[in-house]
Amino acid sequence: MPKEKNDRYAEAAWASKEEDVKSSHKQTMQFRIAALKGPVLINSAAVAALLGFVSANAKKLSGSEAVVVQCLWIFSIALLVSSLSSAAAYITQYLYTLADNQYEKSTKHPYIFEKESRYKNCALVAHVITALLVVCGYLLFFLGVFKFQKLIAAVL
């Protein structure tokens, strides 16, 4: 194969690889942002609902202040953990981007050679941490709801 033709194939392969990386990361980040809004939204709504419930039933809840404070702490920590999961998702995406950009261009077929990268292992660890933070956010939400039920039982 003539060298010029081989160079054109190589350049096309490089451009395709770069476009695939950009497209993949854009779609992944959009999905992660949408997925991570859930825990933040439900915990924010839980705090608002708790405060509304307490203000509407303040006289009936006298003596239950400790449970109210516990609920607020639980939902606040859940909100913090959920917010940290968004930051962890950004770091994860950044590490995956670094890992995907570790390749060597060549003018010989297959034109692109993947290089071993420590970023991929770091990205996998960050991915697991992000997932655990999201799960912790949901678990704390359910714990807060369980405590909130005690307040509702006190009013009824």
Residue 130, CA distances (Å) to 25, 55, 76, 100 in order: 17, 35, 18, 19
Domain boundaries along the sequence of the chain: 3-155
C-alpha separations of 96 from 23, 24, 29, 60, 89 in Å? 13, 10, 11, 53, 10
Structure-token match 């609902």, residue found: 49
Taking the C-alpha atoms of residue 81 and residue 44, their distance in angstroms, rounded to an integer, is 12
- Residue 138's closest CA among 43, 33, 32, 37? 43
- Could you tell me if 60 and 28 are in contact, meaning their C-beta atoms sit under 8 angstroms apart? no
Residue 112 bridge partners (DSSP): 105
pLDDT digit string (tens) for the chain, length 156 residues: 456 666 676 677 767 777 777 776 677 667 667 666 777 888 888 888 888 888 888 888 888 888 888 989 999 999 899 888 888 888 888 888 888 776 665 556 666 666 677 888 898 999 999 999 989 999 999 999 998 898 888 777
Does the pTM of the predicted model rise above 0.75? Answer: no
